[in-house]
Structure 1
């Protein structure tokens, strides 16, 4: 957790960027990202130099800075005068970043790859000095502080991006990761990763629930080298997303440039065991470049439907997904909508539909959304679908999104965990605990007026594969007894008489 003092420094630097003419939050974060990367490069080489000195062989592995590039190292830059620092940064450091494509001993390939288009836009030496001082004070040995600081930077993004992009709130990411419960063996993907929030959420879950990723050599290597995969076609987002992963302590994530809906994604079929995503709901689509395989599954130009088809394609058999979709996916009447819902219900296991309140994504957007949970089987498996109607998420549902006491999210977690861990109810066995019945049974027995309930597959099929919770939820209307009309008329007549009498008395007093 970052301190108020450090937050204050970030806010002052943010204000300085604004005063300097850089008002785009993404550009501010991008410029800070470049400096964080430069500091990281220096630390990589310093570590290699210390290792060579300790071994006494003089061989420096993972050389980043050649002998004639030592002035580009962070340890030198931060001690330069303001004018010299500004000149070196614009004339030498950024050309160096753009050319940096070496493997760096496997420690920086992902990050260096995203620096090819690096641009230096800090307008003056005074602002650069402030930002360098801030970055130099970040305790980068503390992974939690690094991650919290970068999340605080990302929280400054307060407007929707292009192509229907907007940042998923951290507490919604945490909920979805908890529902998926990734393990050290999983291979996790977000095909529309943006700032890599879902992948970061998965790292935090794994560190908390599976400490073996730090102690087991196989788990540790998989965690750093093969577990995390994120794709996007926004290069700015890729730079920020890859740095977000680095700040959260992942050494070599696969954060790559890709239009996930194009033909290029075909070779990843069946590769991932977990997908976590909030794909774009709108925006441009190059129909000609869209994967023929996806169009074969669902012929549409709607990106949210194409992404759902993509998720099914990318998942391995038995793989699980938690993805955010706009409400239209749940009840849309087009052939594409119905076919995709039928595919989920009939050919795979649709596990849950969690309706989110419409203010969850404010101030980015007021779109109404839901979380779909499903498992790829290829042979069906949907018996019952669990529905949950989230009323509150711990924040006000207006643009300000102030924290509030009420939240349904912990109840969602508790009920989902109990539902997925409880086995089938054996009605012939004697209960071992007479104080509580299995949660699976209680969820099945919950009335359609409750916030959560189960709906059998047959009923969903009967309703044309409609997945909107309002189709199945029952609304209880409070019975109100109304007075007889003649009684109301009599009371009105009495009041009229009293008013007329009062007016007559007032008139008499004035005459």
Structure 2
């Protein structure tokens, strides 16, 4: 077992210290973040971003009975601009409060954190340690954190195929805890000698390369901590991961990008309303369709994207079909990867990765998609979860089929042209797609008739899939009633639907 894995397990087990106070796992990770930021700043020699009176050694030096009172004041003051100069520190401690109720509990946490092997942890990478905690949280079904944690193996494959380059602007408009930006940074470090960058190039890399936006403040704090531990600078307001709503005018803080990597949130905007930004051609309350519009509009000429999206984006009629047509006109949607089920811990939805690129010629905004290659990684695949790990080995065939061109321009060949074939890799012309009503929900492999019991999904996954379908059906009914211009009686029915939709989303 590596030191990092061992420390993650020890930190995670400390949650048991708080269980009597009714603390959730996500609250625990947030509390740990407040404490670990102090400790890791000491270990990494970056304590200048914390006022001297509130550093780890000061917290540790307080008498046990007084420590909790001091800690509560520390949390308030580190988020105060009049006390704390560092924008990063203020962002992490913005509106901070503690879930700890007993002085003895805080003392136990501080003592156990201090006992850990920090020297070895630094050698292996503090960023990996923190990501291990986030993954633990996402794996814990009760935390509900899986909604924003994309499996690391999927992120790495998307980054590998889109090949980030030095000097590019890389964006994630639904950043979550920052996994895509961190993976892109790892790729750039592995493929370039950053020590050879001059001062101007280093400034560009640190402050004008990685951009993201996160709407949930608690998640934003985790993202800032994650980036800081991976040596990616972020002030949380103008560069790095910004606290804001991409579906509002705040999206203007995100510059046009050369590469966008993202897993946008699924579902409907809370309250069923439309995005507050007014620059979308096709307004919709469907989050993933709204984010898709943002993404292909936010690409620079010659830019490219890889985006995780649920199945309904591929087949939804009306506004969904209009957005797909607009995407295929303005961009070259060259590849779709149909992902297997069970890879998102808190979601039962079926998902895909869409790979597309925008032409260099800005005036060429029609007819850019001539054909779409689809790889079916879903049919006749195991149900991933506790019994079957989702590893990179499952992607090897798709990676070979995709090719080495980051814009999908590699020479490609179908493995077979028989419509009844079990090949996972096929191409469909734009004309064929148009004949299907511009639906991209295309499958051709027949699932095996006999299902091995070991391959059956987890019960919670089946429940999640049913809830996802119910949520989507309710949303479509709500939009249909809007389109029909319902009278008073129908409005009352619509309100019932809205309440049901909210319930379905909360349960899902």
Choose from 95, 113, 128 the match for 1:148.
128
Gaps of 5+ in 1: 49-61, 424-438, 479-511
1:111 to partner: Cα distance: 4.0
Aligned residue runs from structure 1 range 52-451, under 5 A: 64-65=50-51, 70-90=52-72, 92-100=73-81, 104=85, 108-136=86-114, 137=116, 138-139=118-119, 142=122, 144-155=124-135, 156-157=137-138, 158-159=140-141, 165-210=147-192, 212-217=193-198, 218-252=200-234, 254-266=240-252, 268=254, 271-285=256-270, 287=273, 290-294=276-280, 297-332=281-316, 334-361=317-344, 363-377=345-359, 379=364, 380-391=367-378, 397=383, 399-400=385-386, 402-403=388-389, 407-418=393-404, 440-443=411-414, 447-448=418-419, 449=421, 450-451=423-424
Name the CA distance, whole Å, in 2 between partners of 1:140 and 1:184. Answer: 31
Tell me if structure 1 keeps the 8 A contact 2:296–2:331: no
Tell me if structure 2 keeps the 8 A contact 1:143–1:248: no
1:402 to partner: Cα distance: 3.8
1:36 to partner: Cα distance: 2.2
1:280 to partner: Cα distance: 1.2
Gaps of 5+ in 2: 450-508
Question: Equivalent residue of 1:292, what SS?
Answer: coil
Tell me if structure 1 keeps the 8 A contact 2:309–2:353: yes
Q: TM-score normalised to the size of structure 2?
A: 0.76
Question: Equivalent residue of 1:142, what SS?
Answer: helix
User: What do residues 13-47 of structure 1 show as CA deviations (whole Å, max 9, x unaligned)?
Assistant: 1222223431x222111111111222355568x66
User: What do residues 344-368 of structure 1 show as CA deviations (whole Å, max 9, x unaligned)?
Assistant: 212211121100112121x311111
Name the CA distance, whole Å, in 2 between partners of 1:330 and 1:115. Answer: 40
Matching residue of 2:32:
32
User: What do residues 36-65 of structure 1 show as CA deviations (whole Å, max 9, x unaligned)?
Assistant: 222355568x668xxxxxxxxxxxxx6742
Name the CA distance, whole Å, in 2 between partners of 1:126 and 1:370. Answer: 48
Question: Equivalent residue of 2:326, what SS?
Answer: helix
Tell me if structure 1 keeps the 8 A contact 2:336–2:372: yes
Q: CA RMSD in A?
A: 3.2
Question: Equivalent residue of 1:275, what SS?
Answer: strand
Name the CA distance, whole Å, in 2 between partners of 1:162 and 1:467. Answer: 30
Cα–Cα, structure 1 residues 39 and 257, in superposed 2: closer, same or farther, change >3 Å? same
Name the CA distance, whole Å, in 1 between partners of 2:282 and 2:293. Answer: 7
User: What do residues 214-253 of structure 1 show as CA deviations (whole Å, max 9, x unaligned)?
Assistant: 4313443333212111212110000011101112121335
Moved more, 303-312 or 75-84: 75-84
Moved over 6 A (4+): 160-164
Q: TM-score normalised to the size of structure 1?
A: 0.75
Moved more, 110-119 or 197-206: 110-119
Question: Equivalent residue of 2:79, what SS?
Answer: helix
Cα–Cα, structure 1 residues 376 and 444, in superposed 2: closer, same or farther, change >3 Å? farther
1:123 to partner: Cα distance: 2.3
User: What do residues 362-419 of structure 1 show as CA deviations (whole Å, max 9, x unaligned)?
Assistant: x31111111111112352432321211114999x625535427894212222322346
Question: Equivalent residue of 2:413, what SS?
Answer: helix
User: What do residues 149-193 of structure 1 show as CA deviations (whole Å, max 9, x unaligned)?
Assistant: 112211223348889944211111112111211111121111111
